[in-house]
Every structure is written in structure tokens, then in C-alpha cells.
Amino acid sequence: MLLVNQKAYITAPNKNLVYVVDAQTDVVSDSISVGASPSALGLDAQNNLWVLCAGSSWTNPVQMGAIYKIDVAQNTVLNHIDLDPIYPAKMAINSNENVLYFIQNGVQKLDLNSMSYAEFLPMSAAQSFYGIAYNSENQSLYVSDAKDFVSKGLINIYDQQGNLKSSVEAGVNPSSFYFY
């Protein structure tokens, strides 16, 4: 969920929709059709909403993962990019709000202006990428490694060029971050 201008944007993964809810009345005012299994939301400097869709391997035909750009003033899709067939998960937008990072066969980096993406961190950088967040205060990307999902995980901290700055041991299955 993401709150923008008194409107809550909420993903509905089983319906391939993003619901728009008036935050003051709790009434659904609109819905936006997106790709299969929308799962993560972010906002850029121009107040556009970005939606990461995981795709679906259980439908016929298989639906690819995708990232959608939405105009929140009109609640309309402005653009989208289809992703490779390995399903994306979780995303983070940097402090300049012109780059979106997402987990998909490693960590990918999407330039929001050109709508092109490339590998930022290879799969070999972690045993099992599981969470991602951008800390604008220290301009670092935090990526969790859940390892084998039963042992303690790691939090790896990277600079904007993908260089490992530090690692910190975490609990089992680290997946989310909160910066304050």
C-alpha cells in the first residue's frame, strides 16, 4: 500500500488490479488494470506510481512479470515494461527517484527515464535475495540474503555503483527494512 494525495493505492494480486481508495472515506474510488500479480509499489519524483508485477506461471499462457508506470492524477497507465520470465519480487526507488531496483535473478536496475534495465548485482552476490530497500540518508541499497531460509541471514549494504560497503548478520529470513 502507498498513500499519495489522500489516496491509498493497494495491490490486488489475484485480480491484477491496483485499487484506489479515498483515505478519508475508506471507499474504493477507482481501480487500475495492471499485469499479473502486482506486489510492490513506489513513487518517483514526478509523482508517478510504479507497480512491480510478479507474473504468473500457473496460467495458460504464462504471464510475464512487468513494471507499470501510473499517472496518479488520472489513475491511468502511462507505460510498462515486460520483464524476463524469471519472476520479479520486491523493489526500491533511490533518493534521486530516477532509478528503481528490483529482485529478479539477482538485483536489476531500471532507469525510470529510459525504461531500460540491466543487472546491478548478479545471482552469485547472495545465496537467496529476499528483501530490498534504499536508504536515502546514506545513499545505500540494502539487500537481504535469506540464505537457506533456516539459518541466520545477512544484510548486505551496497553503494550506487554496486560495490559492497558492509554486511551485517541478521535473523532468519530477513525481508523488510525500516529507516527512520
Q: What is the pLDDT of residues 148-164, one digit of tens each?
A: 999 999 999 999 999 99
Among 83, 102, 125, residue at a domain's last position? 83
- Do 100 and 78 lie in one domain? The reply is no
pLDDT recorded at residue 97: 75
pLDDT recorded at residue 128: 92
Burial class of residue 146 in the structure, from the number of CB atoms within 10 Å of its CB (0-12 exposed, 13-18 middle, 19+ buried): buried
- Do 79 and 111 lie in one domain? The reply is no
Picking from 8, 54, 56, 60, the residue whose alpha carbon sits closest to that of residue 32 is 8
Diameter over CA atoms, the chain: 47
- Do 58 and 30 lie in one domain? The reply is yes
What total of structural domains would you count in the chain?
2
Q: What is the CATH number of the domain that holds 47?
A: 2.40.10
Give the C-alpha separation, 49 to 122, whole Å: 27
Q: Are 35 and 53 in contact (CB under 8 A)?
A: yes
pLDDT recorded at residue 171: 96
Global pTM exceeds 0.85? yes
- Do 51 and 12 lie in one domain? The reply is yes
Q: Does 121 have pLDDT greater than 90? A: yes
Which structural domain, as residue segments, surrounds residue 103? Answer: 88-180
Tell me the per-residue pLDDT of 90-116, one tens digit each, with 9 for 90 and over.
Answer: 999 996 879 999 999 899 999 999 999
The string over 30-40, giving b where at least 16 C-beta atoms fall within 10 Å of a residue's C-beta and e elsewhere, is ebbebbbbbbb
Among 83, 101, 119, residue at a domain's last position? 83
pLDDT recorded at residue 85: 67
- Do 114 and 30 lie in one domain? The reply is no
- Do 78 and 141 lie in one domain? The reply is no
- Do 103 and 16 lie in one domain? The reply is no
Tell me the per-residue pLDDT of 62-84, one tens digit each, with 9 for 90 and over.
Answer: 788 999 999 999 999 999 999 97
Output the nine-digit C-alpha cell for 135. 536508504
Query: Averaged over 131-144, what is the pLDDT?
Result: 95
- Do 78 and 16 lie in one domain? The reply is yes
3-state secondary structure string, the chain? CEEECCEEEEEECCCCEEEEEECCCCEEEEEEECCCCEEEEEECCCCEEEEEECCECCCCCCECCEEEEEECCCCEEEEEEECCCCCCEEEEECCCCCEEEEECCCEEEEECCCCEEEEEECHHHCCCEEEEEEECCCCEEEEEECCCCCCEEEEEEECCCCCEEEEEEEEECCCCCCCC
Give the C-alpha separation, 108 to 117, whole Å: 7
Among 83, 117, 137, residue at a domain's last position? 83
- Do 108 and 42 lie in one domain? The reply is no
